[in-house]
Amino acid sequence: MKWLLLLGLLSGVAGATEAPQAFAWRTPLAMDASAPYQRFILPQDAYLHAAHSDLRDLRVFNAEGVPVPIARTRQAGSSEKTTHSSALRWFPLTGTRRVASDAGDAGLTVSVRAGSDGTLVEVQSGAKPAAATEEVRRGYVLDASHLEKRANVQALTLDWRGTAGFQLLDISASDNLQDWYSVRSGAQLARLDYNGERIERRRIELNGLPGRYLRLLWRDPAQAPELTSADVEETTAFWRSPPTEWFEPQAPVQSALKLQTGEFHYRLPLALPVSRIRLLLPPGNALLPLEILQPERECRHWRRITRTVVYRIGDEGREWLRDEIALPGWPLSEFILRIDSRSNQTAAPQLQVGIEPEQLVFLAEGKPPYQLAVGNAKAVNVALPLTTLVPGLGGSNVPQIAEAKVLPASLPAASASQPGALQRASTGIDWKKAALWGVLLAGVLAMGVMAWKLVQQINQKK
C-alpha cells in the first residue's frame, strides 16, 4: 500500500512538472471564444518537430500553462456531386391530319388484296369523299450527341410557348435515328395559370440516356407545344479524399546499402505517415515503371510497398500526367525507389512526400490564449477518444465545435530542431517549479516517515 501511494505521488509530480517550457516547439492558436470545443488541422511543423512519430508528445496549453483535454482524429473523405445543365438542339416532328370535307364524291378508292402465291383474293372499289389535310406537330427529336457522359443525365427540363394544362408524352432514345428504345412512357408535363399565379411541371426524371438522340411524342398531337428550350441535367458523383500536406522536394541520400542501377535511397527527417509520393518529372515525354520498397539492412529482399507507373506524355497541346503514387499511410522513415531498367532512366529523381494530417480537437478549459506544443521526448500520450472528449458526438444535441487557426510559431523552427534545444529551453532556474518540487518531496518524505513508524509499531505489538 505504501509503495502504491508513493508511485501515485511520483506520477503526480511528473504530471505537475509538464509545462510549456518542456516542449521544444510551440505555436499560438487563434480561436472562436464562444465555442467550448475547438479543432484544427495539425500543421506540417508539428510532425517535423515532434519527439515521437506517433505524436504522443502533442499538447495544447492554456494561458496558465496547464494542458487541456485533447483528441486526435483522422480527416474523413467525402462523397460529393456536381450538377450542370446542357442545352439540346431540337427538331420538330410533323405529320398530317385529315380534315372532313363536304365536297361530295371526289375520287375513287381501290383496294387490292393478293394471296401469298400471287393470286388475286379480293378487289374492292367505291367512291370516297375527298379529304383535306393539314400539317400538325407531333413531337420533337432532341440532339444529345455532344454529351460526353450520357449515363450521368438525370433529368430533362422543357419550356414551351402557350399551351396550358396537362400533357402526356412518350420518350425514346436512339443512336442511329432508326432503332428506338423506350426511356419514359407517359411522362407528364403541366402548366396551370389562374389569377396571375402559375404552377407547372417542366422536369422529367431520367436515369441516363441509352442513345445519342431523344424522341418526344405527345399522346395527343393537338397538345404538342412549341418548344422554347430543352435542357438536360448531368450529375457527376466523385469521392474527395482528405487534403494532402506536401513537404519540400528532396533528392536521394548517399546510401550505405548496396544499391543497383536505377535504385535510389530516400530518408525522411523522422517517421511520417506518408500517404502519397509525387515524382518531379522532367519536361518532355517520360514513362517510369517503378517500385517503392522498405529496405532492410540484413538482406536485399526488401519489402515491396507498391508497384506502379508514372508518366508525362504530351500530344498537340494536351498532356497526360500521372506523377503521384498512393501509399498505405503507415509511418515511413526511409524507402527505396527502384525504376525499371527498361525505362533507361538513370538520373536521380527528386520527389515530395505527402501526408494526410490529422485533426486535433480540444476543450477550451481555462483562459486563452492557447498554444500547441510538441517536442518532449519524455511525454506520454494523453489524447482521449473523440467520443469521450465530446459527449453525444454523432447525435443531434452536441456542443459546438468551432474552427481554430494555427498562427506562426512563437519558437523558431530552427531552434527547436537543433540538438539540445529542449535542454536550452529550460536552462534558467524556475523558482516556482523548484518550490513545488520541494513541497512534494517533503510530503513524500513525511509520508515515508509515517509509514516507517507505523511498521515499527506493528512489529512491536507482535
414 three-class SS: helix
| 168 and 197 assigned to the same domain | yes
3-state secondary structure of 125: strand
- The residue out of 186, 214, 239 marking a domain boundary is 239
Q: What is the pLDDT of residue 344?
A: 75
Neighbouring CB atoms inside 10 A of 187's CB total: 20
Mean pLDDT score, 276-290: 91
Residue 103's CATH number:
2.60.120
- d(CA 60, CA 41) in angstroms, rounded, equals 13
Whether 164 and 135 map to the same domain: the answer is yes
The total number of structural domains in the chain stands at 4
> Which residues neighbour 359 within 8 Å (Cβ) at sequence distance 6 or greater?
39, 40, 41, 42, 72, 73, 74, 75
Domain boundary among 318, 335, 355: 355
**Could you tell me the maximum CA-CA distance found in the chain, to the nearest angstrom?**
144
Range scoring the smallest mean pLDDT among 102-106, 139-143, 340-344: 102-106
State the cell numbers at 198.
402559375
Q: Are residues 170 and 281 in the same domain?
A: no
Do 306 and 414 fall into the same domain? Answer: no
Each residue's pLDDT tens digit, 362-392: 999 999 999 999 999 999 999 999 989 998 8
Range of the domain at 278: 247-355
Q: Both 313 and 274 in a single domain?
A: yes
Question: Do both 339 and 376 map to the same domain?
Answer: no
- 121 and 107 fall within a common domain: yes
CATH number at residue 327: 2.60.120.260
Q: What is the pLDDT of residue 380?
A: 93
Residue 363 sits in the same domain as residue 350? no
Q: Are both 281 and 341 inside the same structural domain? A: yes
Most confident of 44-48, 120-124, 450-454: 44-48
How far apart CA 388 and CA 205 sit, in angstroms, is 45
Could you tell me if 265 and 370 lie in one domain? Answer: no
Q: Which of 71, 42, 53 is nearest to 357 (CA)?
A: 42
Are 96 and 235 in the same domain?
Answer: yes
**Rg for the chain (alpha carbons), in Å?**
39
Q: Are residues 133 and 179 in the same domain?
A: yes
